[in-house]
Amino acid sequence: MIIKKYALLLASGLMLSTSAWATDWDLSILVGNCIGCHGPEGSSLGPATPTIAGLEEDTFVEAMEEFKEGERPSTIMERIAKGYTQQEFEQMASYFSKQPFVRHTQEVDAQKAKKGHHLHRKYCEKCHEDNGYTDHEGSGILAGQWMPNLQFNLADFHAGVRNMPRKMKKRMQKMIKRYGENSLENLVHFYGSQTRTDVKRDKDHDSDDHDSDDDSDSD
Ligand code: HEC
Ligand code: HEC
């Protein structure tokens, strides 16, 4: 069936570029293995798997390399990442970086989220800009990520089994010293409470994409 269609396309001269066709085909197979867990276009539908849409390409590739090398703790991603080449990481990164990060409403404790907001501004906003919506210099996207994933990542950093930038470590230690271990949970509730959809992406939108007024948090 597929071969017949292919031959037909060739014969009719409609196939302008074999390589473009092959790339689309390869790409859908490539990312098809990911979206089974990570959700359509990389936005996960449930809390067990993080959303991977909208990450900067470099952030994405780096995450895959770290999984592959076993530098970043994981339950399954190390095994999965080992099955792909650098070039495939880059192809996947290019695809997922262009997909929107779809945010779902999660059950959050408003008091904890409020405390988390305060902590975020004080200790995290410098690198996790725009309340964690922007992937700035490899920092990932925290706003609207599934809360169990945020929790695992923070616990791994805190326990020292996942490396973090020196300055992040310093700030996190300072924060925990002053506000206790609960501060991590408060941050998880804060990021989990972020469900804005009008997020402006750094590069691909310019003119008609305005930030709405309600992101100027005042408290
Ligand atoms: C069986 C389910 C499953 C499959 C299939 C899967 N993942 Fe994952 N992925 C996870 C889980 C769970 C995590 C959290 C880390 C862990 O425990 O392994 C994760 C984490 C990630 C992360 C890090 C996200 C973050 O911000 O913390 C990236 C990037 C990623 N996966 C990419 C991929 C890509 C690309 C594929 C396809 C080649 C893929 N995954 C296939 C389950 C899966
Ligand atoms: C100096 C900059 C900096 C500061 C400050 C900082 N971070 Fe980070 N953060 C990063 C970078 C860079 C990464 C990516 C690290 C990596 O994967 O190697 C990261 C990763 C993370 C991740 C994992 C994201 C993912 O999906 O893999 C979480 C969660 C996180 N930071 C939370 C925080 C919290 C909470 C604070 C405040 C207490 C904070 N960070 C402060 C730079 C920073």
Q: What is the assigned CATH class of domain 110-196?
A: mainly alpha
Q: What single-letter amino acid sits at 120? A: H
Q: How many residues does the chain have?
A: 219
- Ligand 1 in reach of 38 Cβ (< 6 A): yes
Q: Encode pLDDT of 11-41 as tens digits.
A: 444 444 455 556 677 888 999 999 999 999 9
0.85 surpassed by pTM: yes
> In the CATH scheme, what is the homologous superfamily, with its name and number, of domain 2-97?
Cytochrome c-like domain (1.10.760.10)
Q: What is the pLDDT of residue 6?
A: 53
Per-residue CA distances from 192 to 4, 18, 44, 147, 186 (Å): 49, 44, 14, 6, 10
Whole-number average pLDDT of the chain:
86
Tokens of 60: 């994405």
- Ligand 2 in reach of 176 Cβ (< 6 A): no
Q: Encode pLDDT of 150-185 as tens digits.
A: 999 999 999 999 999 999 999 999 999 999 999 999
- Ligand 2 in reach of 53 Cβ (< 6 A): no
Tokens of 26: 């390869």
Nearest to 64 by CA among 51, 81, 76: 81
In sequence order, which residues have a C-beta less than 8 Å from that of residue 115 and are 6 or more positions away? 183, 186, 190
110-196 shares the fold of 2-97? yes
Q: Is the dihedral of CA 10, 13, 15, 16 positive or negative?
A: positive
Question: Ligand 1 test: best mutation among 26, 30, 34, 150, most atoms within 8 Å of CB?
Answer: 34
- Map out the domains of the chain as residue ranges: 2-97, 110-196
Helical ranges in 13-146 per DSSP H: 18-38, 57-68, 77-81, 86-97, 110-119, 129-132
